[in-house]
Amino acid sequence: MGEGDISPLRALFTSLSSTVGVGNVAGVATAIHLGGPGALFWMWIVALLGMGTKYAECTLGVHFREDLPDGTKIGGPFAFLERGAGQRWLAIIFAIFALIECTVCGGMVQSNSAADACETAFGIPLWASGLFLSLLTFVIIIGGIRRVGEVTVRLVPSMGMLYLTLGLGVLALFWREVPGAWTTIFSDAFTGSAAAGGFAGATFAQAIKFGAARGLFSNEAGLGTAPMAHSAARTENAVKQGMVSMLGPFIDTIVVCSITGLAIVSTKVHLTGETGAGLTQMAFAQALGHTGEVMVMVVVILLAFSTALANSFYARQCLLFLTKQVVGSPSNFARWYSKIALVYSVIFTSILFIGAVSGLEMMWTLGDITLALAMTPNLIGIWLLSGFLKGKTDEFLKTTP
């Protein structure tokens, strides 16, 4: 099967555990609240384009991965920026920005949405939810990529199927409204929404802005985090793993986000002014009562947990790369990194708690800023290596029956 730390399937699910998260539940709701139903259409466009971006970054990340002193694999944008494009300074910038992004987007936003869902369903204090999620996350992440992979390969498929089943149930009960929801989404994508309800004053530009922003946040195409998970896969061909990675944006946005958006628009709860996970819970409650509200809460908590796990792994990969740049000597690497990783694990789980008790709008704004910072050097690297990528792809297609 080739060298690597985890199976290709576990690499995909580790990547999916980051992408299929609160962005699919709270992110879609926020996009519709701010940009109108048409924002969902632009999320779809971003996802289709993102499948190509995801292929490019993951193929390059796997091809240029390297062995660490402890025998594990490390790859991703910092690997192909340094070893492929010869831009060590840009690799360091990416690692710093991605470390910040994984901590903010992957930590604070996740815990904020999970705590909000718990408060909506049962009135559980934000601090209590944040503390529980922080402690649970710490127990898992100190075990490294193998433990994260073991958890996510079980958690992501089951939670994804549960959420899709519930969402399809909502659409089945509101089936008469679904055709109208499709019409609204497509018409508002190009005309903007009428001034009403929670998306008062939404325009065509806002639909694109928030649809694209939440689409990128949800599927993470071009961000550069997914290649870190796929670079740990046991595979003999980088192009093959890159093709596997293309499933990420499709499953995340075209399938899961669509269920959320259609449920919200079909039940017309987007007219209420609610936002975030609470808006999605309201849509499910329209069809399934309090049970639907509670089930969305459960899904949000577990997806937030799995996303936090994946992002903690991405952050530790960035720390690995940065530690290697500073320490250099293989004999000192393990000693220094183990201390740094432990300190970061404490910081990351503490930030989960801070995110849970902070304001929703501030979390999403910080998430958008850090996402853009990390994405920029990654996309520059893909552009610099576009010719190399085309050559590897052509070579694979010629030799594959």
The CATH number for 312's domain is: 1.20.1740.10
Domain ranges, residue 200: 8-385
Per-residue pLDDT at 1 exceeds 60: no
Percent of the chain exceeding pLDDT 90 equals 21
- Residue 401 counted as domain residue: no
What is the DSSP secondary-structure string of 306-353? HHHHHHHHHHHHHHHHHHHHHH--HHHHHHHHHHHHHHHHHHHHHHHH
Residue with the bigger pLDDT between 83 and 68: it is 83
Residue 391 inside a domain? The answer is: no
pLDDT in tens, 285-301: 998 888 888 888 888 78
Region of poorest pLDDT, from 64-78, 115-129, 265-279: 64-78
Mean pLDDT score, 25-52: 87
C-alpha–C-alpha distance, residues 379 and 381, integer Å = 5
Residue 43 lies in a domain: yes
Q: Is the dihedral of CA 249, 251, 252, 253 positive or negative?
A: positive
Closest CA to 229 of 299, 117, 150, 311: 311
In a domain, 390, yes or no: no
* Residues linked to residue 6 through DSSP beta bridges, in sequence order: 233
Which pLDDT belongs to residue 314? 84
Give which of 11, 34, 35, 31 is closest to 22, Cα–Cα.
31
pLDDT tens digits for range 358-393? 766 666 677 778 888 888 999 999 999 999 999 999
Tell me if 2 is assigned to some domain.
no
- Is 358 part of any domain? yes
Q: Are 15 and 226 in contact (CB under 8 A)?
A: yes
Domain assignment of residue 289, yes or no: yes
- Report the pLDDT value the prediction gives residue 370, as an integer from 0 to 100: 80
- Residue-wise pLDDT tens digits, 156-197: 677 778 888 999 999 999 999 999 999 999 988 887 654 344
Domain count across the chain: 1
- The answer to whether the beta carbons of residues 352 and 72 sit under 8 Å apart is no
Amino acid identity, position 312? S
Inside any domain, residue 298 = yes
Q: pLDDT-derived band of residue 71, with 50, 70 and 90 as boundaries?
A: low
pLDDT for res 209: 72
Per-residue pLDDT at 46 exceeds 70:
yes
